[in-house]
Amino acid sequence: MVHSTWDDWFVREEIEATDPGDGVVGWYLGCNGFVLKGSEGTTLFVDPY
């Protein structure tokens, strides 16, 4: 089983994040990975590879 050395800080930050308007909150995951969270709570994970 794989265990993360990052703890769970990112998961907490992503769940608790709120957009101040009608836009998108985004995180860069490195290389070509991104997480986008819309103002209505929809979360999209993008990794083109």
User: Which tokens hold the place of 17?
Assistant: 């994040």
Cα atoms found within 13 Å of the Cα of residue 41, Cβ hemisphere only: 2
Q: Which residues pair with 1 in a beta bridge?
A: none
Transcribe the chain into DSSP letters. Answer: ----SSTTHHHHHHHH---SSSSEEEEEEETTEEEEEETTS-EEEE---
Tens-level pLDDT at each residue, the chain (49 residues): 777 676 777 777 777 777 667 788 888 888 899 988 888 888 899 998 8
